[in-house]
Structures are given as C-alpha cells and as structure tokens.
Amino acid sequence: MNHLQLIIQREYLTKVKNKTFLIMTILSPVIMIVLFSVVAYLSQLNNNKQRTISILDESGLVASIFKDAENTKYEVLQNITLENAKTIVKEKENYGLLYIKKIEDISNSSNHIQFYSKKSPSLTLISSLESKIEKQLYNMKLVEEGVDLDKIEAAKINIDIAQENFTGEKTSKLDSFMKLGFGGVAGYLLFMFIIIYGNMIMRSVIEEKTSRIIEVIISSVKPIQLMLGKIIGTSLAGITQFAIWIILGSVLLTIVSMVFGIDMASAQTPQQELVKQAMENPGINGEIQQAMASFYNLPLANLIIAFILFFIGGYLLYSSLYAAIGAAVDNETDTQQFMLPIIMPLILAVYVGMFTVIEDPHGTVSTLFSFIPFTSPVVMLMRIPFGVPLWQQIVSLLLLVGTFMFTVWFAAKIYRVGILMYGKKPTYKELIKWIRY
C-alpha cells in the first residue's frame, strides 16, 4: 500500500472510530427528529382542540355564512340580549362570542362587529372571521348596487404566464422556486461541509503538532502527501457522517411517524402552510404533477455533475487553507486571526447567492462572483439550475482548479515549514517568508 493510501486510511479510521464523532453521528439525527416530533406533536395538539364560537347576529346578514369546519364549530344564538349571550358563552366555556349589531348601511358597518372572549383570541382566527364577514358584506353591497354576482364569478380569470427562453426552454414560477431550492440547498450544503470538516482538518493538523509526532511522520512521507491524505481522509469521514445522517434521519422519521401517527406535515412553517393552501385551492389543482414536471425540467445531469465537481473543487480549495492554518499555529486559540480571511469569502458567497442570484441569476454581480474561485463553488451551484452556458461553467471550473492547485502549493509550503515550528504565533509577514524557505 502506498503512503497516501495509508494516511487516508488512518485518518478515516481514527475519525470514524472517535467516540465524539460516533456520538455526534448517531445523536444528531435523533435530536433533530425528537425536536421535530415535539414541534409536530404540539402543533397537532393545538390544531386538534375543538373550539366553539357563539354568534349573536342582530343584523341577520352574516350568521348564515359560518359553516362548521374541522376544528371550529359555530353556534348561532338567537333572540337574546348581549349580556345573556355573554353569560351563556361563559357558562358553556365556549371560545368566544362574535357579536354583530344591527347594520343599517353596509358601507358603514365596521364598528358594528365585536368579538368577546376570555383570553385574547388568536390573530389568525380574527383575520379569518374578518375576511369571511368582509366577503359577505362586499357581495351584499354589490347586489345592493345592482351587480350580478354570477357574472362576476364568470368573469374571473386565472393567469399563469408561461415563460420560455429563446432556445425554447420552458419555465414557470414553480420551476423558479424549484431552482432556488436546488441551488440553495447545494450552496448551503457546501458551505456547511467546508466549515465543519475544514475545522476538523485544522484540528487534526494541530493535534499532530502538539503531540509532536509530526517529525516522525515526515521523516517517512512528504508533507504534501500527509496534507492531502489528511484532507481526503477527513472528507471521506465527513461524507460517511453526512450519509449516515441522511439515512438514519429518514429511517427514524418514518418510524416515528408510523409509531406515533404524527403527521409531520403539521410541523410546517406558515409559508409552507400557505403553499399548501394554494395547492388545495381547486384552481391550482394539479400543481403537484406540475412540480414533478418542473423537477424533471431541471438540467439534472448538468446539476449533478456540476455539483460534484464544484463541491470537490471548492472543498479542497478551502480545506487546504484550513490545513495551512493548522500547520502555522500551535493551538486552536491562535487560529482566530487566520480564520477571518477564510470565513469572509464564504459568507460573502452565501449572501451573494441568497440575495443577488435570486434577484437576477444572470446579472453582472452573480456572474462575476460565479467566476471568482473563492465564491464560485457556492454561487455557481446556485446559478446552475437557472441554466448557465457551458463555457461559463468550464471557465469557472478551470479557474477554480487553477486556484486550488495554487492554494495546495501555497498551503503545502506553509505546512512544510509550519509543522516544524513551535512556540510562537506567526504573523502574516512570517508566513510569506516561509514560502521562500
């Protein structure tokens, strides 16, 4: 077995057999799932609560529009005073009382409606009541003005602008969401991967320095072999961890939702809720099929290949810098001053991706940053779903590979000198000097 293989093997095995690593690998998805389940369970608990709302409609205009829904029941009170109604609601422990005064003029009805409850009611409930009443009164007003409601209904038009670029590729709004999602996930994944495993590489270099084994090792292998072996071994361990997280996470998720019957969908965020509502809307039915279609519309082959190449290139670029930092210092606290120049372009890349690419995926800023090697992996991965000309991808990749080779060379220089330097914290000036040694 050659040296590089041996080093990769050792790095991988010691990482994977490390107790903290094992615990983190197994515990992280468990913690995530537990948190997720708790949130899902609680919101389900909330949703399942039946509430009854009493309605006292002195105007007689709106009571008829309230239809019992899954979790909300309406109880129309008749021929009693407001005070009596309040007492009844209190005794029955109903959620609240919606009181509508007699309305003479529909245009001037806003201060005729009130809601009484023990606790302050939820915002969504109030706005849903408001919109229901508004709609009813609006329709009534229209009728009053002599408008035919059926005609208005018939005149409703639903527009979905079909987008197509000049080469004939069709897109839609939903496609754009899909693309954003894809690019965002890919870019963010790379960002996280670099931060987590770059740090791991750095720590493992520092460990070799502090345990003083480094000189024994490099009397047998070349420093650059050791550095590359470390980077590759740690990355493989990282990929293993990621894979276990994904597999374990989905298995656990399935088990939990089967055993406890918790509907994971109910743990969704409000935005997702909106999307769901939109989906349920009869007018936009069939969007799921459309979503599937737009998924297949994505340049999948391009995406996957570009993802792999840019991921590897970007990761190696940054991890070699992390290795160089590890070699330059004696302990982790000294790494701070060198971390900033590494973190800055990464964060910049994510910001550019999040704001500029969403706004205009082929604008000057997005294009520029998808060529600069330190930001290109993240930005380009976010741009590619929107269709980037192949030459741009190739040029960007070549720039990335060129820079990567330069940083590996640079890092190897620092590494070679740094691993044998003990005691003092080097300055940037000294690092530059080391390159000439």
Partner 1 sequence: MSNLLEVHSVSKKFGEFTALNNVSITVPKGSIFGLLGPNGAGKTTLIRVINQITMPDQGHVLLDTEPLQSHHIRDIGYLPEERGLYKSMKVGEQALYLAQLKGMQKGVAKKRLKMWFERLEIGDWWNKKIQELSKGMAQKIQFVVTVLHEPKLLIFDEPFSGFDPINANLIKDEILRLRDEGATVIFSTHRMESVEELCDHIALIHKSNKVLDGNLMDIKRQYKTNTYEIGIDSLNNINLEKELTSKFQVSPAEFKTLGNELKINIKLSKKETANDLLSYLTTKGQVSHFVELIPTANDIFIQTVKNN
60: left (phi over 0), alpha (psi -120 to 50) or beta: left
Q: How far is the CB of 163 from partner 1 (least distance, A)?
A: 56
Find the Cα–Cα–Cα–Cα dihedral 302, 304, 309, 314, rounded to 10°: 110
Distance in angstroms (rounded) separating the CA atoms of residues 377 and 375: 6
Residues 6+ apart with CB under 8 A from 275: none
Helix/strand/coil for 74: strand
Q: How far is the CB of 342 from partner 1 (least distance, A)?
A: 26
Instruction: Return residues touching partner 1 (CB under 8 A).
Output: 1, 3, 6-7, 10, 14, 18, 207-208, 211-213, 215-222, 420, 422, 433, 436-437
Q: How far is the CB of 204 from partner 1 (least distance, A)?
A: 10
List the structure tokens of 111: 């201060």
The secondary element (H helix, E strand) that includes residue 306 is helix 300-328
Residue number, 89 or 231, with CB nearest to partner 1: 231
| Other C-beta atoms lying within 10 Å of the C-beta of residue 77 | 18
| Other C-beta atoms lying within 10 Å of the C-beta of residue 243 | 11
Burial of 217 (0-12, 13-18, 19+ CB in 10 A): middle
Residue number, 151 or 212, with CB nearest to partner 1: 212
End-to-end CA distance of the chain: 31
Q: Tokens 């550019």 map to which residue?
A: 352
Residue number, 107 or 219, with CB nearest to partner 1: 219
Q: How far is the CB of 6 from partner 1 (least distance, A)?
A: 5
Whether 15 and 196 have beta carbons less than 8 Å apart is answered as: no
Residue 54 β-bridge partners: 75, 97
Distance in angstroms (rounded) separating the CA atoms of residues 210 and 188: 33
Q: How far is the CB of 18 from partner 1 (least distance, A)?
A: 7
The distance of Cα 162 from the centroid of its chain, to the nearest Å, equals 27
Residue number, 211 or 364, with CB nearest to partner 1: 211
What secondary structure letter does DSSP report for 285? T
Residue number, 195 or 221, with CB nearest to partner 1: 221
Residue number, 22 or 195, with CB nearest to partner 1: 22
> What is the per-residue DSSP string for 247-270?
HHHHHHHHHHHHHH---GGGG--H
Residue number, 251 or 420, with CB nearest to partner 1: 420
Residue number, 217 or 372, with CB nearest to partner 1: 217
Q: How far is the CB of 320 from partner 1 (least distance, A)?
A: 20
Nearest by Cα to 410 from 287, 292, 314, 324: 324
Whether 398 and 312 have beta carbons less than 8 Å apart is answered as: no
How far, CA to CA in Å, does 205 sit from each of 192, 344, 389, 415, 420?
20, 22, 40, 9, 12
Residue number, 214 or 256, with CB nearest to partner 1: 214
Distance in angstroms (rounded) separating the CA atoms of residues 289 and 69: 28
The secondary element (H helix, E strand) that includes residue 196 is helix 173-210
Q: How far is the CB of 181 from partner 1 (least distance, A)?
A: 40
Residue number, 394 or 432, with CB nearest to partner 1: 432
Q: How far is the CB of 226 from partner 1 (least distance, A)?
A: 10
Q: How far is the CB of 424 from partner 1 (least distance, A)?
A: 14
Q: How far is the CB of 382 from partner 1 (least distance, A)?
A: 39
Residue number, 207 or 332, with CB nearest to partner 1: 207
Q: How far is the CB of 332 from partner 1 (least distance, A)?
A: 15
How far, CA to CA in Å, does 333 sit from each of 75, 207, 210, 338, 339?
66, 13, 13, 11, 11
